[in-house]
Structures are given as C-alpha cells and as structure tokens.
Structure 1
Amino acid sequence: MLNQKVALITGSTSGIGLATAHVLAAQGISLVLHGLLPTHEGKKLANEFSAQYGINAMFDNADLMNVESIECLIRHAIKQMGSVDILINNAGIQHTESAENFPLEKWNAIIAINLSAAFHAVQYALPNMKSNGWGRIINVASVHGLVGSVNKSAYCAAKHGLVGLTKVLALECAEQGITVNAICPGWVDTPLINDQISAIAKKQDITFEAAKYQLVTAKQPLPEMMAPEQIGEFILFLCSDSARSITGSALPMDGAWTAQ
C-alpha cells in the first residue's frame, strides 16, 4: 500500500518537486521535503502538508553539492520517518553558454547537483530499500537526457548521465524489488520559464502567449507546456504496483519532441 510508504523528493519546495509532493501526499504517502528554504520556512511547509493531508512530513535543506550533507539527509530521513521507500531525484540547476565560454564553476555545480547528488542519494538509500525488499527510484531527467541543444553542454551531459545511471541501477536492483526509471520532460509550465518568454515577447513586440507558443513549438509539435502536476501523476504511477515491471526506462513526456 502506497499510503504506508515514505517518499524523499529533492528540490520539492517549488516547481515539479512541490507539485509531485502534493500528488503523492494526496495518496497518503509520507514526505521528506527538501529545498533551499531556511529551516523555519521548510518546517512550516512540512507542517502544512501534515495538516492538509494527514501524513507525516519533515523538511531538510541539505546542500546537494556536499556528499556528507547528502548522507546526513538520507540517514536523518530514515531515522525520523522509519524508511525511505521512494527516492525522487528532482533537484536541478541550469546555465546556458557556449562550451568554449562555459564557466568552470557553473559546469561543476550543474554536474554536482543534477547528476552526482542523485548517485550519492541512491547509494545511501539503497541499503534501506534492499532490507525492505521494495523501492522506487525515479530520476527526473529531461528531454535533454535524450537529445542535445546548443549552449547546454553541462545540462545535457548531466541529464544524459542520469539516464545512463538509471539503466545501470535498474540492472543492479532487478531482483531486489526495486525499480529505477528516468522521466524526461520537455517544456514544463513553471515560473522559471517566464523570463525567457517575456524576453522573446519584448524582442519581437508580440504578446506573452504568442511568445510562449513560439518557444514551445520551436522544439515540440504539441503546442502546449506540461503542467508540473502531470509529472507528479506519472511519478505516482511509477510508484504503483501496476508499474512493477517498468524499470531501466527513460520515459519522455515531451510533446513528441524526440519523435521527430
């Protein structure tokens, strides 16, 4: 029963992670929330989840660039919640620049947070999952884990790496009751994209909606962005018993972006 499980979601104080937290909590899944909020704000958010959904919830603002902090995050979660049954590696950052001019510190940060942090979180969570004989690991990759785009060398490298890591983990965990999958979203309608849309609208003297349509259809045939909640619903399905044979997959949610 999923309502007896505990999910740890990195980067769950906004965007896809927060939307996923609401979807899972609505099914009675207890939560370990994580993000960059100050501790008192994060605890307040966890308390709001507990009150709204009647679940156990906690918050941790571990630094994902620090391996020791990731270890503490997992150990703290298991100690306080009793288990980490579902691990959703969602946290990510982005920076765009040509490969020739890409800042070293940005490269290192993107690889650390988007790829290495997922590996370390899995490494520390796996013994608990194996002892329970059940686990779900879901890596939120990107369409850029399947294709490339100019000026996104670090992001594409990290997301391609996350897809490769997913495949290896699935093979290693196949007989342990643990599935490992990567989700590869295309355009997702979050506030983070609004600045990019506004810049197009201003440059071309067109409406925000026209700029949004132009941005989306430049890459994907489906002329609409995906709501973050849709990703949360897909993650919920991958956690279910119906998806127990789906493992080692990189699953596009990209409006036919990669079908071209």
Structure 2
Amino acid sequence: MDVPGFAVVTGAASGIGRASARAFIREGCAGIALLDINEEPLNKVKAEIEDMIKESEVNKNDVKVVAHRVDVSQEDQVQQAISEVAQSFGRIDYLVNAAGISIFPDEGLASSSVEDWNRTLNINLSGSFFVLRATAQIMLKQEPILSSIDNRPLQRGSVINVASVYGVVGCFQATAYTASKHGIVGMTRSVSADLAESGLRINAICPGVVDTPMLNEKLSILKLTSDLVKTFVSMRRWAQASEIADAVMYLAGGRSSYVTGTTLMVDGGFTSVK
C-alpha cells in the first residue's frame, strides 16, 4: 500500500487500532508509535508487533516501535506524547485516530447522564482533535515523503480519523456516540480543506459493525447489533478489524495520493440501503 514512513496509531491496544498497527508493519512502514490509555494491553500489543518484526524477512532490524500511555482527552498528555514520538522518529507520516469509547444507556437519551455525554465527546471528538492538531503541527514542518514504488513525492502527512456509520446515520441508545462520530466526519471535511494546499491529506473511515471488544461489552447491544446485521447489512456478516485496517492502509499510503476530505464507508453495504 506504499506506506514507507512513520505512523502514529491511537487506541492501539485493541480493535481497529491494533489491527491498523499490525497492518502498517505488514505493509513495510519504517516505525510505529502505539498510543493508548490502557497500559497493560498496550504493552502486549507492542510485544506482539516486535515479534512480527522479528519474524519478518524485510527490514526487521530497522523498524522502530514505541508505546506511550496517553489519555487522548488530556491535551497536555497528547502534546507531550506526539512531541516525543517526533523526536524519536524525526518525522510523522501517518496518523490513525482510532481511540474511542461507546456508552449505551439502557433507555437512550432519557437515562443519559451529563458525565457520560462529556466523557464520550471528550475522548471521541476532542481527543481526535488534540491528536490531529499536535500531529499536523509536526507534519507541516517536514518535506513530503517519497513513494516506495516510484519515488514520486506524496504528501507531508496523511491522517485517517476513525468515525463510524453512525457518523452519517443515527444509532439507537447512543446519542453521545452518534454526535461524536458525526463531529469527526465534519472535522475531517473542514480540516482537509484547510490543509490540502499545504500537502496534508485528511480522510475518515466509517466502519460498520466490527467484531471488536467495544461492541461485545454489553449483551443487550450485542443482540440488537446481531439483529441489525441480519436485517440491514447487505453482506449479512460482521466485519473483522483487519478488514477496516485494509481501508486505513489505502487511505494512508500512496495508492490514495489524490484523495482528501473523503469519508470512506466500510460497512458491508449497510448505508447503501438506508
């Protein structure tokens, strides 16, 4: 997928973040920074990726892997982590904003708390903004990376914000989550217009129903989601996190060098019939 540079992945300890980190290594990136608030699973993913590199026949001695425990809702933690990553790598070429949470009140809006609303927006939307802004400040100062395929200049940086199908349609029992993902789609479109001329590409992906720990947290939501897949998802199955990571690789690398401001639906056909 032509991703020869250095990547930052938030939410890297599980789900789409973990799958994206593994995909960057598989596709030949020069180094990866793993960011997550959950330190123990983060360290496990770091060890897992280091094992992948050892087993690889390509550049296994040159690929750098670092991990930072970061609460993305805390601006100071984000600034420090991104600064340290930039110092370690010398540049940042790709950002995958995958950190996020979902809270599903049993009675929807009526039983929602202000605390849950604020926590969801702070992590999903403000957190994505903090990481995007800190990383863009680094990217804007660097020269464009060259393609590993034909040596042409690509971009100064490529950002993939992980939204959701619920960034374009509504979701039962998830007012805050839906609002946060709509916000990510809007932020992506706006920032892409701001930074395109400066050589940064900013895109979003909208995964559908993905088999991740987040979705399996609550039994009632799991059943509703399973019913939704059977009824509304054209492919009649859940996505695997690795399939979402494949879309991330496309948007990150040189194969999408003329793509910015887009919202790529990776949903098995869910939104095509809505």
Are positions 1:5 and 2:5 aligned together? yes
State the partner residue of 1:175.
197
> What is the deviation of 1:83?
1.7
Query: Which moved further from structure 2: 45-54 or 95-104?
Result: 45-54
| Larger displacement relative to structure 2 (1-10 or 76-85) | 1-10
Tell me if structure 2 keeps the 8 A contact 1:213–1:223: no
- 1:122 aligned onto 2:144: no
Correspondence for 1:111: 121
Q: Are residues 62 and 213 of structure 1, via their aligned partners in 2, closer, same or farther at CA, if it must alter by over 3 Å?
A: closer
- Per-residue deviation at 1:150? 2.5
Amino acid corresponding to residue 35 of structure 1 in structure 2: D
2:74 corresponding residue in structure 1: 66
Maintained 8 Å contact 2:14/2:213? no
CA distance in 2, matches of 1:100, 1:196: 19
Mean Cα deviation higher: 217-226 or 117-126: 217-226
Q: Per the alignment, do residues 216 and 62 of structure 1 end up closer, same or farther by CA in structure 2, a change over 3 Å counting?
A: same
2:264 corresponds to which residue?
251
Match of 2:233 among 202, 214, 220: 220
Q: What residue number does 1:33 align with?
A: 34
Aligned residues: 250
Distance across 2 between alignment mates of 1:109 and 1:212: 23
Kindly indicate whether the alpha-carbon contact (under 8 Å) linking 1:9 and 1:89 is maintained by their aligned counterparts in 2.
Answer: yes
TM-score normalised by structure 1 residue count: 0.88
Residue 258 of structure 1, CA deviation:
1.2
Which of 97, 102, 106 pairs up with 1:94? 102
Q: CA RMSD in A?
A: 2.2
Alignment of 1:147 onto 2:139: no
1:231 Cα offset (Å): 0.9
Partners of 1:197 and 1:215 within 8 A in 2? no
Answer whether contact 1:50 1:57 (CA < 8 A) is retained: yes
Structure 2 unmatched ranges of 5 or more: 54-59, 145-155
Runs in 1 of length 4+ with deviation above 4 angstroms? 195-201
State percent identity of aligned pairs. 30
- Is it true that 1:21 corresponds to 2:21 in the alignment? yes
Cα offsets for 1:77-130 (capped at 9, x unmatched): 111222221111001101112223211111111101111111111111112211
1:190 matched to 2:212: yes
* Structure 1 SS opposite 2:198: coil
Cα distance in 2, alignment partners of residues 199 and 111 from structure 1: 20
List runs of 5+ in structure 1 lacking aligned partners.
202-210
Q: Confirm or deny: 8 A CA contact 1:47 1:57 kept in the other structure.
A: no
State the shift of 1:217 in Å. Answer: 2.2
Q: Which residue of 2 aligns with 1:76?
A: 84
User: What CA deviation, in whole Å up to 9, does each residue of 1:201-243 have, x standing for no partner?
Assistant: 7xxxxxxxxx875341244222001111011111111122220
TM-score by length of 2: 0.84
Measure the CA separation in 1 of the matches of 2:162 and 2:66: 21
Task: Name the structure where helix makes up a greater proportion of residues.
Answer: 1
Which of 145, 152, 164 is the matching residue for 2:186? 164
